Amino acid sequence: APGILAGKRGLIMGVANNRSIAWGIAQAARSHGAELAFTYQGDALKKRVEPLAKELDAAVVGHCDVTDPATIDAVFAEVEKLWGSLDFVVHCIAFSDKDELTGRYVETSEGNFTKSLLISCYSFTAIAQRAEKLMTKGGSLLTLTYYGAEKWMPHYNVMGVAKAALEASVRYLAADLGPQNIRVNAISAGPIKTLAASGIGDFRYILKWNEYNSPLRRTVTTEEVGETAAYFLSDMSRGVTGEILHVDAGYHVVGMKNPDAPDL
Ligand code: NAD
């Protein structure tokens, strides 16, 4: 189909199921004409990702666990075999031990700190290293972040620290890869009920709080994040790099509780 992504080929990393933000992005990218390939993490998710990929006529290029660099190399080798080059990569990967997504940040263990930063932050750089080699005609790298990088949020804890580091890495990668016309950006999404989000303490309260207090008086959908992603992946954003764009119904501009909001 013709569209703003017609002729572009992209790798989607981080689909777990049909509620994943990566799936919303994949659907939007496909609807705008992109050709897609998916990775999955482990056999349990393979069974979910394969039928979803089929819905979008997408390839599945294999298992990728970012804590195992050999699996990152393997999926990029598959992409090279399939297409020879690459136009965009969508990184929708994050992890922290659920036990530390509640209570006080000060209790974070060294082990979970290291693991959370490796999976949620360093993996984007590891992926950029592989993508750079295949983006011979320029490209677009996109990751997902959250407002908890900028401000304290209850329960977000080490993930807030990881997202702050991820946002800084967007700027450093943008500077390094800009001369090759590879752009690097992030979407800071408002809260959405996904598998990963269900690990965060009091998530339902966070959703309600955002619904009552955001300027648009609602939360956002994976479709809305997907449409903004399509802009970043396309040449419509060709002058934009190093950017963190909020798709959060405007919540990030709010400094105080909406006085008309019901009690929670
Ligand atoms: P999700 O559970 O659907 O996706 C998370 C993905 O991370 C899964 O596909 C999982 O397989 C992958 N992953 C975790 N550890 C991995 C590893 N070691 N190797 C490879 N993949 C691994 O949840 P989601 O909410 O769609 O999350 C996608 C991204 O969006 C994350 O970066 C998340 O922090 C970010 N985000 C989510 C929200 C929200 O409210 N849901 C808001 C802002 C940002």
Inter-residue contact 230 to 5 (CB < 8 Å): yes
Catalytic residue check, 122 = no
Based on C-alpha coordinates, what's the Rg of the chain?
Answer: 18
> Which domains, from first to last, does the chain contain?
9-250 (3.40.50.720)
Q: Give 21-59 pLDDT, tens digit per residue.
A: 999 999 999 999 999 999 999 999 999 999 999 999 999
Q: Name residues whose C-beta falls within 8 Å of residue 21's C-beta, 6 or more positions apart in sequence.
A: 14, 92, 144, 189, 192, 194, 222, 225, 226
pLDDT at 2: 76
- Marked catalytic residue, from 40, 146, 147, 251: 146
Catalytic, 146? Answer yes
- Which residue is catalytic, options 147, 156, 231, 251? 156
Question: How many residues would you count in the chain?
Answer: 264
The single-letter code of the amino acid at 166 is: L
160 contacts 153 by C-beta, under 8 angstroms = yes
Q: Confirm or deny that 14 is annotated as ligand binding.
A: yes
CB distance 26 to ligand 1 below 6 Å: no
1 falls in which pLDDT band (50, 70, 90)?
A: low
Beta bridge partners of 244: 186
| 3-class secondary-structure state, position 81 | helix
Task: State the closest ligand 1 atom to the C-alpha of 64, by its place in the atom list counted from 1.
Answer: 20
Ligand 1 neighbour 92 (Cβ under 6 A)? yes
Ligand 1, atom 23: nearest CA belongs to which residue? Answer: 196
* 75-78 LR contacts (CB < 8 Å, sep 24+): 75/11, 75/39, 76/130, 76/131, 76/133, 76/134, 78/37
For the residues 85-105, what does the mean pLDDT come to?
A: 97
The reported pTM is 0.98
Digit-coded pLDDT (tens) for 137-186? 999 999 999 999 999 999 999 999 999 999 999 999 999 999 999 999 99
Mean predicted confidence (pLDDT) in 69-94: 98
Structure tokens at 112: 């979970």
